[in-house]
Amino acid sequence: MSIESIYLKNFRNHILKKFQFDEKNFIVGKNGSGKTSIVEAIYIVFSGRSFRTNRLRNAINNNHDFFELNGRLSEEGISIPFKLTYKTGKEFFIDKKKVENSTEFILKHPIVCYSPENEGFLSDEMEVRRRFLDRLIGYVYPQHIVNLKSYLKLLNIKKSYIHKKIKDPLLYSSIHEKMIFFGNRISSKRVEFIEKFNSIIDKNINDFPTFLSENFSLKFAASEIHVSLIDSEIAKGMVLTGPHRDKISFLINGKICENFASFGQRKSLSLFCIYCFIKVVEEFLKYGIIVILDDLEAGLDAERVKFFLEKIKPSQLFITGLPNNTFEKFNTINIE
Ligand SMILES: Nc1ncnc2c1ncn2[C@@H]1O[C@H](COP(=O)(O)OP(=O)(O)O)[C@@H](O)[C@H]1O
Ligand SMILES: [Mg+2]
Residues near ion ligand 2 (Cβ under 5 Å) = 36
Closest ligand to the CA of 31: 1
The CB density around residue 195, as the number of other CB atoms within 10 Å, is 12
The closest-lying atom of ligand 1 relative to the alpha carbon of residue 40 is: 17
For the chain, the C-alpha Rg in angstroms (whole number) is 21
pLDDT, one tens digit per residue, over 237-252 is: 999 999 999 999 999 8
In this structure, is residue 310 part of a structural domain?
yes
Percentage of the chain modeled with pLDDT above 90: 84
Do 235 and 155 fall into the same domain?
Answer: yes
In a domain, 155, yes or no: yes
Instruction: Give, using CA atoms, the residue closest to atom 16 of ligand 1.
Output: 34
Same domain, 150 and 264: yes
pLDDT digits (tens, 9 = 90+) for 138-176: 999 999 999 999 999 999 999 999 999 999 999 999 999
Q: Is the pTM of this model over 0.75?
A: yes
Q: Is residue 333 within 8 Å of 19, Cβ to Cβ?
A: yes
Q: How confident is the model at residue 260 (pLDDT cuts 50, 70, 90)?
A: low
Express each pLDDT in 268-305 by its tens digit.
Answer: 999 999 999 999 999 998 888 999 999 999 988 888 89
**59 CA: nearest ligand 1 atom:** 1
- Total domains in the fold of the chain: 2
CATH number at residue 79: 3.40.50.300
Q: Which residues pair with 92 in a beta bridge?
A: 84
pLDDT tens by residue, 40-55: 999 999 999 999 999 9
Range of the domain at 8: 1-110+287-336
- In terms of Cβ atoms closer than 10 Å to its own Cβ (0-12, 13-18, 19+), residue 258 is exposed
Residue 31 confidence (pLDDT): 94
Ligand 1 binding site (Cβ under 6 Å of any ligand atom): 12-13, 29, 31-37, 59-62
131: how many CB neighbours lie within 10 A of its CB? 19
- Are 18 and 38 within one domain? yes
Nearest to 160 by CA among 264, 82, 234, 263: 234
Asked whether residue 268 falls in the same domain as residue 231, the answer is: yes
Rounded to whole angstroms, the Cα distance separating 2 from 21 reads 9
Of 26, 37, 67, 293, which is best to mutate to test ligand 1, by the most ligand atoms within 8 angstroms of its C-beta? 37
Residue 206 CA to ligand 2 centre (angstroms): 31
State the closest ligand 1 atom to the C-alpha of 58, by its place in the atom list counted from 1: 1
